[in-house]
Amino acid sequence: MSPVEGSGGISVTAHVTSRLLTPWRAIAGFGVVSLAADMVYEGARSISGPLLAELGASALAVGLITGAGEAAALLLRLVSGPLADRTARYWALTIFGYGLTAICVPLLAVTPFLGAAGLAVAAFLIVTERVGKAIRSPAKSTLLAEAAGEVGRGRGFAVHKALDQIGAFAGPLLVAALVAVAGTLWPALAALTVPAVIAMILLVWMRRRFPGPAPRTGDRSADPAPGPLPRRFHWFAASAAASTAGLITFGLISYHASRSGGITLAAVPILYAGAMAAGALAALASGHLYDRWGARVLYGLPALAAATPALALSGSTAAIVAGTVLWGAAVGVQDSTVKALVADLVPAPRRATAYGVFAAIQGVAALLGGALAGGLYGYSITALAVVLAATQVLAAALLAVTLTRVR
């Protein structure tokens, strides 16, 4: 018997290959993992403010804790991205990052019972959960890009984002329902253990059936990975930064909607859920068009973002709803089709590094854009809309330079 055959005469190689996931099944698997994980951390984020307040935090403390978490989620990718490429341990970093979320969020349920230490423990858990996001994101995006490369990265990232958005939609609604029934926060946080466990079990199962990018071997001096990222990547990062800076946040939209009286406070979460649904549909549409028409479909992103402020910050309820839908669609394209182009602009051994750099640039742009929009809001909404539209024109111009260099 051949050494590569089992007792039944079946090739071991053929048997192992038969157990591997097809690209679409791998994409769907990552999507379900993101769906479950989004239920966990988006559900927790929807009540993190009230939880911290219940534990004795001031408004300043809430801002500092949640701001530190978001900063960690973006800036630490400058470390985790290169680490993933250097070690090729994409799966280990992905599983570890998701593991931090799966542990930290349910543990928030015990903080109301810790007395004076509850606030400090909650702050540590909230920030650590965001560190987990930073650790896993570049590695997971690289694994997803590997799977989507065989079926069309536009559609691959779009399907993943659509499933992801379902979790972002369902998690806060589930938490809201549990809080309404229980009359307190901790049972809802404890219940998030269930989707957290589902996500981890599926990740471990997938690890054995989708190996991901192979580690680099041999003479690395001839490897195209070392050295700076391609210049076309930096042009696109600049375009994405301008687009991100010119996209108002949902925080400002919800502030205006509730303050203007057009949307009741109780309806704000429903408005957000509708935006998440719009994001899922936009991701699917733009991803499909990306694979058919190429990267020029991304000209739609600055158009969506430029139209958002004039509608979302108006005095009409219908216009606010329409503007929020456009905002959700822009976010959906940012988180899916934009990532597909990043993967196409950068050599495979450098993708995790690129995703880390890209996220950090977007994070800084979001911070600057949020400060700009917040300052202009109190001065003139018309001036705000004009300035943000100008940044989207800049984003479109930089995208044109990017696509010229690609050709």
Amino acid 219: pLDDT: 44
Amino acid 14: pLDDT: 42
Helices first, then strands: H and E counts in the chain:
18, 0
Average pLDDT taken over every residue of the chain:
85
What letter does residue 9 receive in the DSSP assignment? Answer: S
The band of 407, judged by pLDDT with boundaries at 50, 70 and 90, is low
The band of 220, judged by pLDDT with boundaries at 50, 70 and 90, is very low
The band of 13, judged by pLDDT with boundaries at 50, 70 and 90, is very low
Q: Tell me: the pLDDT tens digits for 362-376?
A: 888 888 888 888 888
Secondary structure (DSSP) of 50-119:
HHHHHTT--HHHHHHHHHHHHHHHHHTHHHHHHHHHHH--HHHHHHHHHHHHHHHHHHGGGGGGSGGGHH
Amino acid 286: pLDDT: 93
Q: State which of 18-27, 220-229, 330-339, 375-384 shows the largest mean pLDDT.
A: 330-339
Amino acid 315: pLDDT: 83
- 50 or 32: whose pLDDT is higher? 32
Q: Tell me: the pLDDT tens digits for 200-211?
A: 999 999 998 998
Q: Tell me: pLDDT of 390 over 80.
A: yes
Amino acid 397: pLDDT: 95
Which tokens in the block code for residue 130? 């965001």
Of 218-222, 303-307, 325-329, which range is least confident?
A: 218-222
- Summarize the confidence of residues 305-321 as an average pLDDT: 90
Domains of the chain: 21-208 (1.20.1250.20), 231-406 (1.20.1250.20)
Which tokens in the block code for residue 102? 């799966």
- Summarize the confidence of residues 148-161 as an average pLDDT: 88
Q: Tell me: pLDDT of 160 over 50.
A: yes
- 72 or 220: whose pLDDT is higher? 72
266 C-beta neighbours (distance < 10 Å), count: 9
- Summarize the confidence of residues 232-259 as an average pLDDT: 86
Amino acid 398: pLDDT: 95
Round to whole Å and give the CA distance between 188 and 43.
9
Amino acid 7: pLDDT: 45
Of 88-97, 182-191, 268-277, which range is least confident?
A: 268-277
